Amino acid sequence: MAKALVAMSGGVDSTVSVLLAREAGYEAEGVTLLMHGDTDVSGAAAAAAACGVPHRVLDMRERFARCVSGRMVEEYAAGRTPNPCVDCNRSVKTGFLADYARENGFDRLVTGHYARTGELDGRHALRVAAVPEKDQSYVLYPLSQEQLAMLWLPLGELDKRAVREYAARRGLTSASAPDSQDICFLPDGDYAAYVTARVPCAEGDFTDSTGRVLGRHRGHVHYTVGQRRGLGVAAEERLYVLSKDAARNAVVLGRESELMTRELQVERINWVSIAPPQAPLHAMIRTRYRQRETGGEITPLPQGGALVRFDCPVRAGAPGQAAVFYDSEGYVLGGGTIV
């Protein structure tokens, strides 16, 4: 019988994934990653017991601190806006577990992500969930071909209601549990407090794009590109954060029209469902997790980067965030980090 390692948090998605893996004929075993000091593995252990599968815990705290939470602090301190969930899936959660499963005799890694895997022109492919509202393909774009080959996502064809109904029919206590927050180590979502507790964050100047001082800010890590609320600067028209200059500790403000752009540059691209292209290609581009895609042309650059030219002006993406490319069928062509 084929063996499946199932990533378990104790929530309804991962617990249902265990049961679906067993129904598909796999000999399933749960695994939970101890990622930070607040990680509670008791719920996952109880869920595994309720499903009748073995359960193991892997201590990933050092790797998580280095690759996810520590990197988030470094990126914010440098004036960028990272996505810790992308980093986690790349280095700790899905990517690591796919390698771990293969190296430890499992045939599949199963997770509760809402996305789909498959094949496209002879390559292992990643695709948006059948129900786009829950799609999580954006945070999975860094996975390699070898990692995608190991991955099965049984919730990719389902919506949340169907998952909860399935859990309720099976008598799972997690059936009515609330959804987990995106950033697991920030239970209150206050990333700025987390960063400023670890690195100095001095007050500085708000300026306009010409360098004229408009006021004082609390420290550039408290702001992100596109932000309008909480600036505390009096002006005749609404002001938005256009950019951050960590070297000068300056936050540049301007009108909403100044946020609009027709192009951006992306680095560290991972081509997923297609081989690295040798010529420009048109795709749909998402520059934030819960954002609708916008059409544009992607021109590959040397050293693994690309220039993205949008079909129409869009809000500038925040440096450090991911830009993910999709085709018309929802396949993830690739993605990278906005410069």
Mind telling me the catalytic residues?
A: 88, 184
Question: Which DSSP string corresponds to 15-62?
Answer: HHHHHHHHHTT-EEEEEEEE-STT---HHHHHHHHHHT--EEEEE-HH
Measured distance CA(275)–CA(187) in Å, rounded: 38
316 in Cβ contact with 329 (< 8 Å):
no
SS3 191: helix
Tokens of 328: 């018309």
Helix, strand, or coil (residue 138): helix
Q: Is 289 exposed, middle or buried (0-12, 13-18, 19+ CB in 10 A)?
A: middle
Query: How far apart are the C-alpha atoms of 72 and 69, rounded to whole Å?
Result: 5
Cβ atoms of 329 and 90 closer than 8 Å? no
Q: Are 309 and 316 in contact (CB under 8 A)?
A: no
For 266, what's the count of Cα atoms within 13 Å in the CB-facing half-sphere? 26
Phi and psi, residue 323, nearest 5°: -110, 120
Strand duo 281-286 + 322-326: pairing: antiparallel
- Provide CB contacts within 8 A for 278, sequence distance 6+: 300
Could you tell me if 31 and 47 are in contact, meaning their C-beta atoms sit under 8 angstroms apart? no
Cα distance between residue 153 and residue 171, in whole Å: 22
Tokens of 160: 């949340």
